[in-house]
């Protein structure tokens, strides 16, 4: 996808959003109007595009990705870690547009997902059940959805290992003894929310324990994160620090940096513990000041990927980072806030161009192109992914609600 390398130049010379320097109230007003128009257009597109995705996805499974080379859509069962993102995206689209057919499709998909509230096979209940049922309850206030969320938190808590003070991500195997991945920070939102909304306070305590141990062992001095830290769960001692989806054990896998940024920003939301806010700020500094961040702010799949600037991009990392930066902007002021919000604007603007956003009826019905799932495994490389769409929609809603 070499064409992406020219996006930043195109945006800058077009007189568009990124060329606005913020010089006064008029420029600020223009920027807001442009962002509002862009967000309106993207949600109108999303309503129609997701009807294509729904048509391409049998009723008993979830969409996973699409391969343009052979015009093939790939689906997953509801135990796949991404199973909550499609109903979650539908709910975001409904929230913005009030399209009744979109809500009906979301409710149907929630119906097949609901049984996974008892799943304990890995740490992904937050992705699966909070991105879906969490949004469903927030928007509709259906009490049955809250019951599902509460049960899901209880299921996730069974993966907490008290001796290590961590939630174990994956089961032990010949490769890993007690693996914890940085992605796990995202699942803490489910636990925190349930404790804050009438549930057992132990879930918040588990969340805090996991976040604290992750700060201790997952981060390098420059605040980049390892992907996997393998533990002896009986002692809490680190066995090794490695990667599964990154370019190397020592590299900064881009989406992993996004999970970390989002996770610690979210932890500050629930706890107001300044340590978590400072952690998020330092992670943001690593991301935004990285010399390998492209000008259009859509990261390469790994900040240390071989072949830069010809390496694959990861639109899902940009979507995720944009959403996290917008929330981080809520907890900061003036120049600092402006840094985060401006970066998120650039990411969203780039993602909304033809270089990344699909045309109606194409891309299997997904919104965004050019994400990278797990390049070392040769899995989902340069394809659409459900979580890229989800965080893209979330980021635009956050921008509308907080900055317009």
Compute the residue count for the chain. 404
Break the chain down into helix, strand, coil percent, rounded to 5: 60, 10, 30
Q: What is the SS3 assignment for 369?
A: coil
Do the annotations mark residue 255 as ligand-binding?
Answer: yes
**Which of 99, 183, 296, 314 does the annotation list as catalytic?**
183
Question: CA-CA-CA-CA torsion for 52, 53, 56, 58, nearest 10 degrees?
Answer: -130
Residue 149's Cβ-count burial label (10 Å; 0-12, 13-18, 19+) is buried
**Residue pair 368/355 in contact by the 8 Å Cβ criterion:** no
> Catalytic: 273?
no
**Residue pair 19/68 in contact by the 8 Å Cβ criterion:** no
Do the annotations mark residue 27 as ligand-binding?
Answer: no
Neighbours of 6 (CB within 10 A): 12
> Catalytic: 124?
yes
Do the annotations mark residue 161 as ligand-binding?
Answer: no
CA atoms of 178 and 70, how far apart (whole Å) = 39
**Which of 124, 302, 304, 314 does the annotation list as catalytic?**
124
Do the annotations mark residue 183 as ligand-binding?
Answer: yes
Do the annotations mark residue 259 as ligand-binding?
Answer: yes
Token output for 79: 């135990």
What residues are annotated to the active site? 124, 183
Residues placed in the known binding site: 124, 183, 243, 255, 259
Residues placed in the known binding site for substrate: 124, 183, 243, 255, 259
């Amino acid at each position: 996808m070499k064409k992406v390398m020219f996006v930043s130049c195109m945006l800058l010379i077009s007189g568009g959003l990124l060329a606005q320097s913020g010089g006064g109230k008029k420029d600020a007003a223009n920027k807001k109007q442009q962002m509002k128009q862009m967000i309106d257009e993207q949600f109108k597109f999303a309503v129609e595009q997701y009807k294509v995705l729904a048509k391409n996805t049998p009723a008993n499974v979830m969409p996973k990705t699409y391969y343009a080379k052979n015009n093939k859509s790939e689906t997953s069962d509801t135990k796949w870690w991404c199973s909550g993102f499609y109903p979650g995206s539908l709910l975001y689209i409904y929230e913005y547009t009030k399209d009744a057919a979109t809500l009906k499709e979301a409710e149907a998909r929630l119906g097949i997902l609901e049984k996974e509230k008892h799943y304990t096979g890995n740490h992904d209940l937050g992705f699966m059940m909070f991105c879906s049922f969490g949004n469903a309850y927030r928007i509709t206030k259906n009490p049955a959805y809250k019951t599902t969320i509460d049960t899901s938190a209880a299921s996730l808590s069974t993966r907490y290992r008290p001796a290590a003070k961590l939630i174990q991500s994956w089961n032990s195997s010949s490769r890993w003894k007690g693996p914890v991945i940085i992605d796990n920070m995202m699942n803490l939102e489910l636990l925190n929310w349930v404790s804050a909304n009438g549930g057992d306070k132990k879930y918040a305590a588990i969340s805090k324990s996991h976040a604290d141990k992750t700060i201790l062992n997952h981060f390098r001095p420059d605040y980049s994160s390892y992907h996997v830290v393998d533990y002896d769960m009986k002692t809490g001692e680190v066995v090794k620090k490695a990667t599964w989806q990154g370019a190397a054990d020592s590299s900064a896998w881009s989406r992993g940096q996004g999970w970390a940024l989002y996770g610690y920003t979210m932890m500050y939301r629930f706890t107001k513990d300044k340590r978590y806010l400072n952690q998020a700020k330092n992670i943001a500094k690593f991301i935004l000041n990285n010399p390998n961040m492209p000008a259009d702010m859509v990261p390469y799949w790994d900040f240390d990927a071989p072949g830069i600037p010809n390496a694959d991009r990861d639109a899902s990392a940009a979507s995720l980072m944009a959403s996290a930066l917008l929330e981080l902007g809520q907890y900061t002021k003036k120049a600092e806030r402006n840094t985060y919000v401006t970066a998120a604007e650039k990411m969203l603007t780039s993602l909304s161009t033809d270089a990344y956003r699909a045309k109606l009826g194409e891309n299997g019905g997904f919104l965004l192109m050019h994400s990278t799932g797990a390049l070392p495994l040769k899995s989902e490389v340069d394809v659409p992914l459900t979580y890229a769409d989800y965080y893209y929609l979330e980021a635009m809603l956050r921008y509308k609600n907080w900055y317009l």
